[in-house]
Amino acid sequence: MIAPPSILPSGSKTLVRPPAAELLQARPKGPGLLDGYAPPPGVFDEMLGADDKVRPHYRQLVSTLATMSEPERERRFSSAAQYLREAGVYYRVYGAAEQGEQTRSWPLAHPPLVIERGEWAALAAGLIQRAGFLEKLMADLYGERRLIRDGVLPPAILGRNPEFLRPLANQASGRPLIRFIAVDLGRGPDGRWWVLGDRAQAPSGAGFALENRVATSRAFPDLIRDLKVERLAGFFKKFRETLLALDDGKGLRAGLLTPGPANETYFEHAYLARYLGLLLLEGGDLAVHGSSVVVRTVDGEKPISVLWRRLDSDFADPLELHPRSRIGTPGLARASREGGVEMVNALGSGILETRALLAFQPALAKALIGERLTLPTVATWWCGQEAEHAFVSENLERLSLARAFPQTIGNEEQRRPLDLGIRLSHSERLLRDLDIDPQAVVGQEIVALSTAPVFVDGKLEARPVTMRVYLARHADGWSVMPGGFARVSSSTDPLAVAMQSGGHSVDVWVSSDREERRVSLLSNGAAFSRRLPSAPPARAADNLYWLGRYVERAEAATRLVRLFTARLAEGERRGALEALVAELLAEIGVDALLADPAKGLLDRAKRAFDTASRIRDRFSPDGWRALGDVVRLIEQHLDAPEGSDLVALSSEVLTRLSGFTGLVHENMYQFTGWRFLQAGRLIERGQLTALAAAALGGEETPEGGLEALLEFCDSRISYRRRYSVDLSRETVLDLVALDPLNPRSIAFQVNSLKTLLDELPGMRRGESLAPVSRRAARLAVRLTTGDASEANAKFLSRIADDLGDVSDLLSERYFTSGPKANADRLDVE
Amino acid sequence: MIYDLALKIGYEYPSDVKDARHILRVRPLTERGQRLVTNRLTITPQPDESRADRDFFGNALDHVLILPSHDGLSVTMRARVEVNRARPDLAATPDVAEIRAMAAAARDSDGDGPMHFLGDSRIVRLSEPLTAYAAETIKDDQPIGEAMLAFSKRIREEFDYAPGKTTVSTPLEDAFARREGVCQDFAHIMIAALRGIGLPAAYVSGFLRTTPPPGKPRLEGADAMHAWVDVWLGPDHGWAGFDPTNAMLALDDHVVVAVGRDYGDVAPIDGVLITAGPQKTTHSVDMKEVG
């Protein structure tokens, strides 16, 4: 057996890992930026050369940082952090089972990793060669499979590979099957970059790389300029053009297919969809007709022919792929096979992430591209072969064991998209499999990663670093994103770099010698034409509609809680009025009789926030943040020691909610999506006002009931202006129910709703009315012709019921297309 | 032997269903001593789309789409099939160790290549108890054919044929531990055991003659679709069917419909439904000898 080339420095066969304390003593120095900066011996440091001098391409960065005072540096870092916070960049972390998953803010460290342009050019050339190689590998595995027939690859690598998707086995047609990939790299002690693994299933991180760049530009605008750092936008612009051109000139929109909000990188999907102008689609948004794919929108089904797939292949189609997938589209595999939709990357591309393939690189390269790969690959031995199995078994102390094949769904060791998995993990299972199922295991050389400087507690420390670089395939070949996404370990241990276990990301700067023209996705110099946004998918509209309802419901609940507590706070006893308010609160899911009714408010606020998280691509980060603030406020209140003021909390929550409403009203593009959100608010407000008016303004209104109703409807001032008389039932009800000019009245909601419905897709003036519009129109007439004297409890409850019917009809007309109820499979015993 | 076959599968849904997409794998194959003479498939309600196709393993599929709201599905497949399989000379087959080595090296990557039938599939997972079960019975120096027939007999003897005790979703490890099940369980158990010792094994769904020839006992599993196991007997003999439910070779009493790695590849009707509760199923098979 020929051992693969070694990444370890010659002569050294064991990894040196001195404890951190020893390192610090090794280089005592005077005060200064590099004071105490001590890369472990035997590894390559990105900043310091072997002569202990700062490498030339780091000099500018180091000298600029050195002239900054510590507070100045902190100020810059916090402006980057502030940007990330405001943009709502987060990452989902799977915690212990009892806490469930958590989202956490994006961990960006400074300074960026700087790569010298000459070195980058060589690296990029190697990566482009590798991408071409992977493209050919994919085409062979899903086409002729000559590599198997000719014995270059052992049959088991295909035969038992869970990512070899047989329904797509013969999909190769000459068009590239992969168009967007990532390569994970680490630099060895010899200073060369080594390939640690390929990402072709649905590589994540490119969106985070963009956000990192924006954040570091906030922190170091001067350095970015001085170092002439290569920009990223050009890469994405070209990729976007490529995606749009893939539909062969049909001029359709392209979509980004996401597994949905539960996915850990959903933020990135929403972000990239917004950045590239793609529709953010879930499996349920799509349907297959014949071999073509359509999006279920509120304006009917619209064809789509290009999908940037961020959903794992096996989940994409429950009919031909994983039968238990609830997030796929039945028939999608066939549509893809028959050329009805172009998937980027093709279904089944996860096979390129098979670690066992790394053990056969030279032979594969020779067979596929007829030349050597210039970038070396981390030494890998596949234990499905006898000699390799023996070698790995005998060298366990200096190798790491890993899964030879991509993991299947439901496996506890499931791959995490941002986890590089280079770790010394001789887990018991792997060791056991090495004995009983060696084909499932590879041995890999432990990579002594290079270190890069990052600030930890105000001081630069040398931390092991890996880099993920992205490549895109255009009509004229592959191109590399100039920069990338680097990860630094949270420990000095050069063997562990994983985001999940507390690592940080850093931006990657490629210094260039030329001033780059700014490229932006915003303008392309083409002739200007204003185009209306296309109709939103039914699911998105559904969520927008419910977001509108939930926000309004949270607001109503808050007003009622304030009413409920305000009088008690003034020393009044709990009476008939409080009982009515508590009943109203119970109807919208808030238990006022709990020790702290804020618990119920928290549920309401969370419901709104969760709904908003499902459609993050549809409104601004500011709006999203306003809702997040509401949740946080109530949580803080609940966490606070006793005595926190509920009335004050309610007022603060109302302020934030009206902030959200204001943002939506002022900033959201007022087209179809906005209309559904608005319809939700109007219906909810109309309904709740009718219910409150029936309860508080009924024939036997309790003492204080009319004031409470005016308070709930925020109409006290309007009342004073409009009627100089004292409170009377009729005038109050006229104002809150029938007055078309009071923006809080039921009549106002219904009239606005009627106008809004006419503007929804498919509603055409002059044609017979859809049931939903007819219902709303009748209701409007009833309110216009109504008289305050007939506005009794029965009249008002009927209005609430009618609005419920309008809601049902609206849902039936626009939203009932995606699977919602229990999905069941046919079984034949 | 010529048979007239009728398969009827019906579903009643607890609530209306629309936009239902299905894959049917109910048409017998023409292959290995079996010829499809005539064939008719009737689907109610009338599908809006219906397309015949072949999968990776060579099985005949029908892709079906039913758009309007409906509260049930019925599928009737009638076929005339001629079966004339040569009985393999089991004693003349290569020995088990040879098959294992040839299977590991076989480079045929098409749908009937042994490489696809050696590892885990969705339903069949290799496990130590099942591997041990196979290793106990099957010796390296036995001719593979004889070893397979003997192994089928062992399963037939040690397991109770117990309809209703297991369902399509019972893990095969459970059926193995309880030593009971139906044809599907026995087939999965045999497959997992054989793959565990490196022998290529495939799942076969099909039909079994309903009435036995005069003087012979009625076979188990004849009143519904049946399942058995294809085992690779080397490049010269190819694949041959063994029926662990009836401890016999699958020859002229068996009609093949589909072959795959496990039930998941060959389920007669596949589809995801959005319903409010469990569906009711009816399923019947009739296979008469007509010549």
Q: What is the pLDDT of residues B8-39, one digit of tens each?
A: 999 998 888 888 999 999 999 898 899 999 99
pTM for this model (two decimals) = 0.88
Could you tell me which chain B residue has the CA closest to the CA of A819?
B274
Position A13 scores a pLDDT of 33
Q: What is the pLDDT of residues B161-200, one digit of tens each?
A: 988 888 877 888 899 999 999 999 999 999 999 999 999 9
Q: What is the pLDDT of residues A587-611, one digit of tens each?
A: 998 998 887 889 999 999 999 998 9
Q: Exposed, middle or buried: residue A161 (CB in 10 Å: 0-12, 13-18, 19+)?
A: buried
Q: Considering CB atoms only, which of A145, A148, A823 is closest to B274?
A: A823
Q: How many domains is chain B partitioned into structurally?
A: 2
Position B163 scores a pLDDT of 86
- CB contact, 8 Å: A145 with chain B? yes
- CB contact, 8 Å: A75 with chain B? no
Position A489 scores a pLDDT of 82
- The reply to whether residue A159 touches residue B21, judged by beta carbons under 8 angstroms, is no
Q: Considering CB atoms only, which of A162, A331, A828 is closest to B268?
A: A828
- The reply to whether residue A160 touches residue B120, judged by beta carbons under 8 angstroms, is yes
Position A499 scores a pLDDT of 42
The amino acid that residue B2 corresponds to is I
Query: Using omega within 30 degrees of 0 as the cis cutoff, is the peptide bond preceding A417 cis?
Result: no
Position A503 scores a pLDDT of 76
Position B179 scores a pLDDT of 94
Position A624 scores a pLDDT of 83
For chain A, give the percent of residues with pLDDT over 90.
59
Pairing of strands B70-83, B34-44: antiparallel
Pairing of strands A279-282, A254-258: parallel
Q: Print the SS3 string covering chain B.
A: CEEEEEEEEEEEEEEEECCEEEEECCCCCCECCEEEEEEEEEEECCCCEEEEEECCCCCEEEEEEECCCEEEEEEEEEEEEEECCCCCCHHHCCEHHHHHHHHHHCCCCCCCCHHHHCCCCCCCCCCHHHHHHHHHHCCCCCEHHHHHHHHHHHHHHHCEECCCCCCCCCCHHHHHHHCEECHHHHHHHHHHHHHHCCCCEEEEEEEECCCCCCCCCCCCCCCCCEEEEEEECCCCCCEEEEECCCCEECCCCEEEEEEECCHHHHCCEEEEEEECCCCEEEEEEEEEECC
Residues of chain A found within 8 Å of residue B116, distances taken between Cβ atoms: 159, 166
Same domain, B157 and B213: yes
Same domain, B77 and B95: no
Averaged over A530-554, what is the pLDDT?
A: 88
- The reply to whether residue A820 touches residue B274, judged by beta carbons under 8 angstroms, is yes
Q: What is the ipTM of this complex?
A: 0.95
Q: How far, in Å, CA of A27 to CA of B69, rounded?
A: 77
Q: What is the pLDDT of residues A107-160, one digit of tens each?
A: 899 999 999 999 999 999 999 999 999 999 999 999 999 999 999 999 999 999
Could you tell me which chain A residue has the CA closest to the CA of B274?
A823
Q: What tokens were used for A501? A: 């276990």
Q: What tokens were used for A823? A: 């999905």
Set out the domains of chain A in order of their start, with CATH numbers.
Answer: 1-153+179-229+351-515 (no CATH), 232-347 (3.40.50.11290), 538-668 (no CATH), 670-820 (no CATH)
- How far away is chain A from the Cα of B104, in angstroms, using its nearest Cα? 7
Could you tell me which chain A residue has the CA closest to the CA of B282?
A828
Q: What is the pLDDT of residues A341-393, one digit of tens each?
A: 999 999 999 999 999 999 999 999 999 999 999 999 999 999 999 999 999 99
Q: Is the pLDDT of residue B278 over 60?
A: yes
Sign for the pseudo-dihedral over CA of A115, A116, A121, A123: negative
Backbone angles phi, psi at A505, to 5 degrees: -105, 155
Average pLDDT, chain B: 92
Same domain, B29 and B156: no
- Which residues, including other chains, have CB under 8 Å from residue A277's CB and lie 6 or more apart? A240, A521
C-alpha closest to that of A122 among A54, A187, A182, A175: A187
Position A528 scores a pLDDT of 54
Backbone angles phi, psi at A133, to 5 degrees: -65, -45
Residue A217, CB half-sphere, CA atoms under 13 Å: how many? 12
Same domain, B65 and B116: no
Q: Considering CB atoms only, which of A158, A821, A827 is closest to B274?
A: A821
- The reply to whether residue A156 touches residue B119, judged by beta carbons under 8 angstroms, is yes
Same domain, B95 and B63: no
Interface test with B, best of A146, A334, A347, A824 (most B CBs within 10 A): A824
Q: What is the pLDDT of residues A639-683, one digit of tens each?
A: 887 666 888 999 999 999 998 988 888 877 778 889 999 999 999
Could you tell me the pLDDT band of residue A494, with boundaries at 50, 70 and 90? low
- CB contact, 8 Å: A743 with chain B? no
The amino acid that residue A198 corresponds to is D
Position A262 scores a pLDDT of 81
Residues of chain A found within 8 Å of residue B106, distances taken between Cβ atoms: 155
Q: Is the pLDDT of residue A417 over 70?
A: no
Same domain, B44 and B142: no
Q: What is the CATH number of the domain that holds B37?
A: 2.60.40.2250
- CB contact, 8 Å: A820 with chain B? yes
> Which residues lie across from A533 on neighbouring strands?
none
Residues of chain B found within 8 Å of residue A828, distances taken between Cβ atoms: 9, 168, 225, 267-269, 281, 283
Position A22 scores a pLDDT of 36
Count of CB atoms within 10 A of residue B20's CB? Answer: 24
Residues of chain A found within 8 Å of residue B55, distances taken between Cβ atoms: 166-167
- The reply to whether residue A821 touches residue B276, judged by beta carbons under 8 angstroms, is yes
Same domain, B191 and B257: yes
Position A492 scores a pLDDT of 67
Secondary structure (DSSP) of A100-141: -EEEEE--B-SS-EEE-HHHHHHHHHHHHHHHHHHHHHHHHH
Interface test with A, best of B69, B118, B185, B270 (most A CBs within 10 A): B270
Backbone angles phi, psi at A613, to 5 degrees: -65, -20
Q: Considering CB atoms only, which of A151, A166, A169 is closest to B107?
A: A151
Could you tell me the pLDDT band of residue A92, with boundaries at 50, 70 and 90? low
Same domain, B63 and B131: no
- CB contact, 8 Å: A152 with chain B? no
Of the two residues B198 and A812, the one the predictor is more confident about is B198
Same domain, B101 and B79: no
Averaged over B65-81, what is the pLDDT?
A: 94
Q: What tokens were used for B61? A: 């599929």
Q: What is the CATH number of the domain that holds B259?
A: 3.10.620.30
Could you tell me the pLDDT band of residue A422, with boundaries at 50, 70 and 90? very low
Same domain, B237 and B99: yes
- The reply to whether residue A159 touches residue B115, judged by beta carbons under 8 angstroms, is yes
Position A413 scores a pLDDT of 41
Of the two residues B87 and B169, the one the predictor is more confident about is B87
- How far away is chain B from the Cα of A385, in angstroms, using its nearest Cα? 11
B58: domain range?
2-83+267-289
Same domain, B246 and B103: yes
Could you tell me the pLDDT band of residue A424, with boundaries at 50, 70 and 90? very low
- CB contact, 8 Å: A222 with chain B? no
Could you tell me the pLDDT band of residue A501, with boundaries at 50, 70 and 90? low
Q: What is the pLDDT of residues A544-593, one digit of tens each?
A: 999 999 999 999 999 999 988 887 777 677 788 888 999 999 999 899 88
Q: What is the pLDDT of residues A779-795, one digit of tens each?
A: 999 999 988 888 888 99
Position A827 scores a pLDDT of 58
Residues of chain B found within 8 Å of residue A141, distances taken between Cβ atoms: none
Q: How far, in Å, CA of A114 to CA of A98, rounded?
A: 41
Q: Is the pLDDT of residue A24 over 80?
A: no
Confirm if A181 and A478 have CB atoms less than 8 A apart.
no
Residues of chain A found within 8 Å of residue B271, distances taken between Cβ atoms: 319, 330, 825-826
Position A261 scores a pLDDT of 85
Averaged over A615-633, what is the pLDDT?
A: 85
- The reply to whether residue A166 touches residue B56, judged by beta carbons under 8 angstroms, is yes
Interface test with B, best of A322, A816, A826, A829 (most B CBs within 10 A): A826
Averaged over A261-281, what is the pLDDT?
A: 89
Of the two residues B229 and A407, the one the predictor is more confident about is B229
Asked which of A249-253, A690-694, A729-733 is least confident by mean pLDDT, the reply is: A249-253
Same domain, B160 and B75: no
Could you tell me the pLDDT band of residue B134, with boundaries at 50, 70 and 90? very high
- The reply to whether residue B269 touches residue A162, judged by beta carbons under 8 angstroms, is no
Average pLDDT, chain A: 85
